Amino acid sequence: MPRHVSLGWGVRKEKGGLWTRNAVRGKSVRGERRKRDGRIEWRKWDSRRSKVAAMLMRSKVDPSTLIPNPGSLCVYLGASSGSTVSHLHDHVCGAGNHHGGKILAVDISSRMMRDLLTLCSARPGIVPILGDARYPLNLAPYLPRMADWLFQDLSMPDQAKSFIKSTSHLLGEGGLGIISIKAASERWSTGGDEQHFDESETIIKSAGHLKIIERIDLRGLEEQHIVIVAQKV
Ligand SMILES: C[S@@+](CC[C@H](N)C(=O)[O-])C[C@H]1O[C@@H](n2cnc3c(N)ncnc32)[C@H](O)[C@@H]1O
């Protein structure tokens, strides 16, 4: 039994969780553990603090198919202070951005943006944008072409409708669009979480440009959250 399974360049799954190859050696982003394996330093990617990590731990499909390729063009809506974005950066860009990737990291909060800017100064390839993800046409000028991978994690109502707009305007055909849905963020007055998640899934399917690949329940890692993975067709 191998000690770890590679999920692609710079991402490992071990018995205790996920690790990414640290692009800024000697530095943690939010106090996470680091360890050396030969000349390489790895950072712990906490699946209780990152929905991308939680999704990779819980997915029933091959998790390596859910993360973007190194060097790809990514959009992350709801970047917050950038802790998940930093792990994506380890994988998509690497030290000094030797993979030539690009991650558009968008958040509406100026408080979060301050921390994100500090992160970006040490991690070339991340483009921080203070903006409202509900208006994707304002974000399009920052992309040289349609994105390969888009992740949305917005704590606000109408998450599914917003996802339809962002994937329609920013994601390229064949690209993966992934949304984290938090039941408590919606304004629903009746029905339970499962019913609300079903409604969100129906909204996403009805858009016509997204084929659902998987719906992942994050229970145990993130309560009242699901992730829906879709491919743009
Ligand atoms: C749950 S947090 C994201 C955590 C982050 N994905 C991570 O794993 O580190 C949600 C973020 O969405 C941002 N947000 C909420 N509404 C937004 C909007 N309309 N446009 C952009 N960002 C928004 C909030 O400021 C907050 O930082």
HEC assignment per residue over the chain: CCCEEEEECCEEEECCEEEEECCCCCCCCCCCCEEEECCEEEEEECCCCCHHHHHHHHCCCCHHHCCCCCCCEEEEECCCCCHHHHHHHHHHCCHHHCCCCEEEEEECCHHHHHHHHHHHHHCCCEEEEECCCCCHHHCHHHCCCCEEEEEECCCCCCHHHHHHHHHHHHEEEEEEEEEEEEHHHCCCCCCCHHHHHHHHHHHHHHCCCEEEEEEEECCCCCCCEEEEEEEEC
Does domain 46-232 fall into CATH 2.60.40.60? no
pLDDT one-digit tens code per residue, 179-220: 999 987 777 666 788 888 999 999 999 999 999 999 999 999
pLDDT at 184: 77
CA of 129 to the centre of ligand 1 (A): 12
pLDDT at 16: 83
pTM attached to this predicted model: 0.96
pLDDT at 189: 64
pLDDT at 188: 66
User: Is the CB of residue 107 below 6 angstroms from any atom belonging to ligand 1?
Assistant: yes
pLDDT at 37: 94
pLDDT at 193: 86
Instruction: Please identify which residue in the block is written with the tokens 């993975």.
Output: 229
Domain ranges for the chain, please list them: 46-232
Pocket test residue of 29, 80, 137, 165 for ligand 1, highest count of atoms within 8 A of CB: 80
Evaluate whether 105 touches 79 at the Cβ level (below 8 Å): yes
Pocket test residue of 55, 109, 119, 182 for ligand 1, highest count of atoms within 8 A of CB: 109
- Which regions in the chain score pLDDT beneath 70? 1, 188-190
pLDDT at 166: 98
pLDDT at 192: 83
pLDDT at 145: 98
pLDDT at 55: 98
Enter the tokens of residue 2: 């191998």
Evaluate whether 190 touches 219 at the Cβ level (below 8 Å): no
Angle value at C-alpha 112, between 111 and 115, nearest 5 degrees: 100
pLDDT at 11: 98
pLDDT at 61: 96
User: Is the CB of residue 221 below 6 angstroms from any atom belonging to ligand 1?
Assistant: no
| Amino acid found at 96 | G
Pocket test residue of 108, 163, 182 for ligand 1, highest count of atoms within 8 A of CB: 108
CA distance 53 to 178: 13
User: Is the CB of residue 166 below 6 angstroms from any atom belonging to ligand 1?
Assistant: no
CA 140 to chain centre: 18
Give the closest residue to 54 by CA, choosing from 224, 230, 221: 221
